[in-house]
């Protein structure tokens, strides 16, 4: 499994798998993300990302909707299974 450079979750295309690397935000944001299951190293699959409006992701077996601003504060590395 090869990992690529970091990008914002909001830039990840539908169907792509990635791993959370950094969360940039204040205390309330970090608490919300932790409650939703977004922690460093967790795998995320983007279910829906139209480039505007909410982003829907699968995290720890649960579908989660994030606002565009929230998705921009989550930094991830895409997981590339093609070797």
Band of the pLDDT at 1, cuts 50, 70, 90?
A: very low
For position 16, which CATH number holds? 2.30.30.90
Q: How many domains does the chain have?
A: 1
| pTM score, whole prediction | 0.88
Residue-level pLDDT at 4: 60
Instruction: List all residues 6 or more positions away from 25 whose beta carbon is below 8 Å from its beta carbon.
Output: 33, 73
Print the domain residue range for 68: 2-80
Cα–Cα distance between 3 and 76 in angstroms, integer? 10
Tell me the C-alpha to C-alpha distance, in Å, between residue 73 and each of 54, 69, 82: 13, 7, 27
Tell me the C-alpha to C-alpha distance, in Å, between residue 41 and each of 19, 75, 79: 5, 11, 12
Residue-level pLDDT at 82: 66
Residues 60-76 pLDDT 10s:
999 999 999 999 999 99
Summarize the confidence of residues 8-17 as an average pLDDT: 96
Residue 83 pLDDT greater than 60, yes or no: no
């Amino acid at each position: 499994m090869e990992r690529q450079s970091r990008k914002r979750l909001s830039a990840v295309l539908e169907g792509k798998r990635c791993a959370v690397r950094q969360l940039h935000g204040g205390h309330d944001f970090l608490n919300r993300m932790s409650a939703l299951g977004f922690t460093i190293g967790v795998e995320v699959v983007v279910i829906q990302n139209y480039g505007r409006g909410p982003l829907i992701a699968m995290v720890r077996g649960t579908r989660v909707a994030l606002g565009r601003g929230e998705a921009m504060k989550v930094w991830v590395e895409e997981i590339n299974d093609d070797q």
